[in-house]
Structure 1
Amino acid sequence: MANPSRPRAAALTTGIVLLAALLAGCSHGAEDGDLTAQKLDWKDCPAPSEAEGGGGSPSPLPNGTQWQCATMKAPLDWSNPKGDTIGLALIHAKASGPAGKRIGSLVFNFGGPGGSGVTTLPAFAEDYAALRTRYDLVSFDPRGVGRSKPVKCESDAQLDQYFQQDATPDDSAERTQLLERTKQFNGACEKHSKTILPHVRTTDVARDMDLMRQVLGDDKLHYFGISYGTELGGVYAHLFPKDVGRAVFDAVIDPTQNPEQSALGQAKGFQLALDNFARDCTSKTTGCPIGDTAQDVKDRIAKLLTDLEKKPIPGILPRELTQTAATNGIAQALYSKDFWEYLTEGLQQAYEGDGRVLMLLSDSMNGRNESGEYSNITAANIAINCSDEKPRYTPDFVQQKLPEFRAASPLFGDYLAWGMVGCTDWAVPGAADHPDVSAPGSAPILVVGNTGDPATPYEGAKKMVDALGKGVAVELTYRGQGHGAYDSKNKCVQNAVNGYLLDGKVPKPGTVCT
């Protein structure tokens, strides 16, 4: 849920904001025409660009190791690999263990789509210290993201207005306004990013990763994909099954769903997370400050959103907390149990007429920093989704589906249903109803599903296992809360993942961690 017109399978990294000069552009192909032979020029990382979120250069690792960055050339158009190239931003930290124990590179994609791996990997590196003993940790900004020829759409001021709009229209006039605003945004993307828009499909990024594997000098791609990164990993395995090394998919997207089914699944997932949050709050011996019972908590939230539609309250001045911003902020807080205390605080303040905390949560989801600058996560998210997904939904279609979405989630149903119009009049046709991830002949892929995941519901893990094909995937279940399992720091999950990535030990299929 990245913006009022397009839900997303969220990255784990919302809220990371960094700053510097924007880098983009095309160059001609390598002189010898063989991009696999290029040598990466690793240097200390610059401060992240505005499109990456801004901020300072990544801090050294605890042992003093500096993060290093490089730019890899890749074909702009994979159907014409000898033509123009684009630069893809990479980051790495060398393995910390003995050289003789090094396995190779471990490539991360943290999701989105649209999240910057260059800013995310350093922020979460402590969680992967065990993996760094035998791998160089590597991530990248996928094409269209961050410093990799970023998709540009609207200005910061225009985005402030975009995220304030009414994303749940109640009458024909409001529906028309939402559709016109969506067309305006999508038209700005075409105007400012015409060169890159046709080339940001997940299949393009998967081919970039195989080039990356070769340039990094690895015989196999060792991979850790989270959220949308699981879809990217599945597409890679489909295209290059013999080149898959040790791979882990965490917070797994259901690859069999079309966008409508995915949005409905997210409605159910976020409602489940909200139910769990409300029960947790009211079960505390100290009492719940936002409701007497779980149902009371949810009823008061629903009333708040209804009141905000009629009359927004002060947020981060001069902006007001609208119904849309509050819904977005609540969703952001449901991604991790660690954020539940902020949701409680934000709701307490909102009931007293102060919308700042909920707006901060919403800004975090949308990639807005304290200076009012936006990363390009929303633009990239929409560009990638609309290029990947073939269906184009109309307001009439959404209207027919509203009862089903409201039944799935009284709070989030309308919001996610209306998000389906986000690709209206998109400049590039969508590729397919859903990705093909069948990967016969691939090495084992560890698929980790979390029973309480709001953004990528647990059922998707089993669907991914089946879609990858017989004998490929091994499913691991984590009975927990939040988006993803490994970063929950559950020892059972981490031991299973580390055992596979570090030692090649495949967990017993059907293993359950609690």
Structure 2
Amino acid sequence: MPNPARLRAAALTATALLLTSALAGCGEDAGDEDLTGQKLDWEGCPAPSASEGGGTAPSPLPDGDRWQCATMKAPRDWADPKGDTIKIALIRAEASGDPGRRIGSLVFNFGGPGGSGVSALPAFGEDYTTLRTRYDLVSFDPRGVGRSAGVKCENDQQLDAYFQQDMTPDDAAERTTLLDNTEAFNAACQKRSGTMLPHVRTTDAARDMDLMRQVLGDTKLHYFGISYGTELGGVYAHLFPKNVGRAVFDAVVDPTQTPEQGALGQARGFQLALDNFAQDCTSQAEDCPVGDTPQDVKDRIAALLKRLEAKPIPGVFPRVLTQSAATNGIAQSLYSKDFWEYLTEGLEQAYDGDGRILMLLSDSMNGRSANGEYSNIAAANAAINCSDDSPRYSAEQVEGKVPEFRAASPLFGDFLAWSMVSCTDWAVPGAADRPDVGAAGSAPILVVGNTGDPATPYEGARRMVTALGKGVGVELTYRGQGHGAYGSKNTCVRAAVDGYLLEGRVPAAGTVCS
């Protein structure tokens, strides 16, 4: 299920658009020779499919240039590279500067796992205007996502019910219901997408990226990975260290942690973000409308969630705001300081019996559009995570861990602990306890950690640097809030990242931006 423990990135721009519109109305070279020699047929981009999140075709870039889309063939099974193929959906904006200074393609992965790069890159495109002066900006739907052989599980009506359920069971009956619903979701994935489930691991996506590098005509892969995209980048660097060009990892996943350790770290991370939100609200010159002190803010939120467990309030008609949806919506708002105002307004409304804003935030996390259609992020997220991660946690194991999670976060602890049962009945065994990102011989990789990041806590950046190996990872610290650093538009972070990607200047290890 795409909740904070499993979903390692948020569609932040989609959240803003959804709220605005709704509230207005209310290694070696990879691949077979034939595949590496394929020519991409770049054309104008269609509107994103429902599985990619829907919406309209991407608008032209500020200079009038248009986004271009293509599909690349890749083996369904990398163990049989001459067998059946699938199509990988790509998008690009060609470099805007002097052709003589063009470096190559800069490939983006915005996270998830399960996020559509074809939808995300145009949404964030203006953030990368400077980088586009020397690179073609390129992104893609990873295998299992969107239009790249997208995994399918439950339908829209079933997902509405699934995300409304009680995800923090308090007794045996509620536990049984949660486990039965999780088993039904996983069975639907196997029934509708069984042929793809064994082939959506991060190692498969990394091999797709090396094929992409060759098809795009690049000697090296220049890469910008965000959130889960840092894990994908690390796995790529492990498999193909000699093919790494200039690479940046932002909002860094800790590659040393098991799923349990990662979920516990996120409990602490989201609690820290909530603490920071409460402190910020109550320190303003004007009165904080959701509490008098930081502790009062958190106490009132806890009381709201307790009331919602017993009696949900109206949300986005005809649905009601349940405790689980409210918790999910609060978590989504903590991905970016820009959304703290939505959280404040959403809490104000919820205290008055109106759950629309918190439900819209939750919908964004779950990939639900305003017309009630879901992208396939929930399905892809489960498929990739459960194929990557070998641990399978029982209800009894989770119950034993709840006190530790609750101590880490009174608000999010139970929610994140119980998310660990999401892979228990998965049809495909997981690959490993944790990813292998050791990349001896790779070019330097700039690893950017944010001290206030709720979803990928700051400590993960240093551990990624260590895991990449001596002389590979270069750590940069941003003392800020939100998920990621480059998107904050901090001038120090931008200068360091742009200087490396555009000019090859490696910042001094341990550089701190604030």
TM-score, L = length of structure 2: 0.96
Residue identity (%): 77
Note if 1:289 corresponds to 2:289.
yes
Q: What SS is found at the alignment partner of 2:88?
A: strand
Work out the CA distance in 1 between the residues paired with 2:292 and 2:10. Answer: 33
Q: Counterpart amino acid of 2:7? A: R
Whether the aligned pair in 1 keeps the contact of 2:465 and 2:474 (CA below 8 Å) is: yes
Q: How does 1:139-178 map to 2 (within 5 A)?
A: 139-178=139-178
Greater shift, 9-18 or 281-290, is seen at 9-18
What is the deviation of 1:8? 2.1
Give a deviation string over 1:200-227, Cα, whole Å, max 9, x none: 0000000000000000000000000000
Which residue of the partner structure matches residue 56 of structure 1?
56
Determine the structure 2 residue equivalent to 1:250. Answer: 250
Other-structure match for 1:202: 202
CA contact (8 A) 1:76 1:86 kept: yes
Partner of 2:426: 426
1:2 CA drift (Å): 2.1
Q: Which residue of 2 is the match for residue 9 of structure 1?
A: 8
Change in Cα spacing, 1:11 to 1:361, as seen in structure 2 (3 Å) is closer
Q: CA offsets per residue over residues 57-96 of structure 1, 9 Å max, x none?
A: 0000011100000000000000000000000000001000
- The answer to whether 1:271 aligns with 2:271 is yes
Q: Deviations over 1:390-410 (max 9, x none)?
A: 000000000000110000000
Q: Which residue of 2 aligns with 1:104?
A: 104
Offset at residue 425 of structure 1 (A): 1.2
Amino acid at match of 1:361: L
Correspondence list, 1:43-442, <5 A: 43-442=43-442
Shift of 1:3: 3.7
In structure 2, what residue type is equivalent to 1:141? D
Distance 1:14 1:402 in 2: 33
* CA spacing shift, 1:339–1:177, aligned 2, 3 Å: same
Cα RMSD of the aligned pairs, angstroms, is 1.2
The residue type equivalent to 1:318 in the other structure is: P
Query: What CA deviation, in whole Å up to 9, does each residue of 1:256-301 have, x standing for no partner?
Result: 0000000000000000000000000000011100000000000000
Q: Is the 8 A contact 2:113 2:381 kept in 1?
A: yes
**Structure 1 position 241, deviation (Å):** 0.1
**Contact 1:202–1:235 (Cα < 8 Å) also in 2:** yes
Q: Indicate if the aligned counterparts of 1:41 and 1:70 stay in contact, CA closer than 8 A.
A: yes
- Contact 1:11–1:228 under 8 Å retained in 2: no
Q: Which amino acid aligns with 1:193?
A: S
Equivalent residue letter for 1:503: E
Distance in 1 (alpha carbons) for counterparts of 2:324 and 2:14: 18
Task: Tell me the CA shift for residue 33 of structure 1.
Answer: 5.7
For 1:456, the equivalent position in structure 2 comes to 456
SS in 1 for 2:248: strand
Instruction: Deviation per CA, 1:449-480: give whole Å up to 9, x if none.
Output: 00000000000000000000000010000000
Aligned AA for 1:436? D
Give the match's secondary structure for 2:329: helix
> Does the CA-based 8 Å contact 1:12-1:483 persist in structure 2?
no
Equivalent position of 1:482 in the other structure: 482
Residue type of the alignment partner of 1:15: A
Counterpart amino acid of residue 111 in structure 2? G
The alignment partner of 1:15 has SS state of helix
8 Å CA contact retained: 1:313, 1:353: yes
- Once the two structures are superposed, residues 157-210 of structure 1 have per-residue CA deviations (whole angstroms, 9 ceiling, x without a partner) of 000000000000000110011000000000000000011111000000000000
For structure 1, the 5+ residue unaligned runs are: 19-31
Please list the CA deviations of residues 349-388 of structure 1 after superposition, one character each: whole Å capped at 9, or x if unmatched: 0000000000000001111011000000111001000000
Q: Is contact 2:10–2:332 with CA below 8 Å preserved after alignment?
A: no
* Local SS of the residue matching 1:449: strand
Give the aligned residue type for 2:348.
Q
Amino acid at match of 1:487: G
Distance, in Å, in 2 between the alignment partners of 1:83 and 1:360 is: 43
Distance 1:139 1:283 in 2: 40
Give the C-alpha shift of residue 424 in structure 1.
1.4
Change in Cα spacing, 1:217 to 1:33, as seen in structure 2 (3 Å) is closer
Is the 2:2–2:382 contact (alpha carbons within 8 Å) kept by the matching residues of 1? no
Cα offset, 1:34, TM superposition: 1.6
Partner amino acid for 1:298?
K
The DSSP-based 3-state class of the residue aligned with 1:224 is strand
Give the drift of 1:482. Answer: 0.1
Contact in 2 for aligned 1:33/1:82 (Cα 8 Å) = no
| C-alpha separation in 2, matches of 1:441 and 1:408 | 38
> Could you tell me how far apart the structure 2 residues matched to 1:126 and 1:287 are?
35
Query: Contact conserved, 1:246 with 1:445, CA < 8 A, in 2?
Result: yes
In structure 2, runs of 5+ residues without a counterpart are 19-31
Distance 2:405 2:340 in 1: 24
Please tell me the residue identity of whatever aligns with 2:497: V
Q: Distance in 1 between the 2:425 and 2:369 partners?
A: 29
Q: CA deviation at 1:11?
A: 3.6
Structure 2 Cα separation of the partners of residues 109 and 457 of structure 1: 19
Is the contact made by 2:131 and 2:501 (CA closer than 8 Å) also made in structure 1?
yes
Aligned length: 500
Distance 2:446 2:370 in 1: 38
Structure 1 SS opposite 2:164: coil
Letter of the aligned partner of 1:206 in structure 2?
A
CA distance in 2, matches of 1:317, 1:216: 46
Structure 2: which amino acid aligns with 1:251? A
Structure 2 counterpart of 1:329, one-letter code:
G
User: CA offset at residue 7 of structure 1?
Assistant: 2.9
